[in-house]
Amino acid sequence: MKSINGIHLPGSYITLNKWINFSNLNSNSRYLDVACTTGIKSRTISELTGCKALGVDISKKSIQSAIFNKEMYTPEADVEYHNIDATKFHPKEKFSHISFGASLRFFDNPKKMLEHSLKDLLSTNGFYWLRNFM
């Protein structure tokens, strides 16, 4: 755990804050959390910035968990969760920010998913958040 001014913060909280600041994620942003699992990133980012967030996951149990956690911990956050396959997702509006975390390793074809997200999901001058997935 990291400390700032004597306050202990989990590493994920610090990482999220860095991404928020470095990518200018704010209340005008549209954020997509791919393979959101429990929804921690989308909940926290929406709560901290006021952005509109969407978490998607192919796992029904993950989406149920994300919805429960949102209702329990951040009911005021502007975030929705949907049980969909991200490779087949075609939203009406593109997103200014997309995070994959380390989830790309779970896609059958990570390159195809990245190409789909660049073409159909990410807005011009948008931001990705990726981790090494090899």
- Count how many domains the chain has: 1
Phi, psi of 101 (to 5 degrees): 55, -130
Q: Within a 10 A sphere around the Cβ of 42, how many other Cβ atoms? A: 27
Q: Does 3 reside within a domain?
A: no
Read off the pLDDT of residues 64-85 as tens digits, 9 standing for 90 and up: 999 999 999 999 999 999 999 9
State which residues form the domain around 113: 28-130
Q: Does 20 reside within a domain?
A: no
Q: Does 62 reside within a domain?
A: yes
Q: Does 11 reside within a domain?
A: no
Angle between helices 40-49 and 11-22 (to 10 degrees): 50
Q: Does 92 reside within a domain?
A: yes
| pLDDT grade for 110, boundaries at 50, 70 and 90 | confident
Identify the pLDDT of residue 9: 47
Q: Within a 10 A sphere around the Cβ of 54, how many other Cβ atoms? A: 22
Read off the pLDDT of residues 27-53 as tens digits, 9 standing for 90 and up: 999 999 999 989 999 999 999 999 999
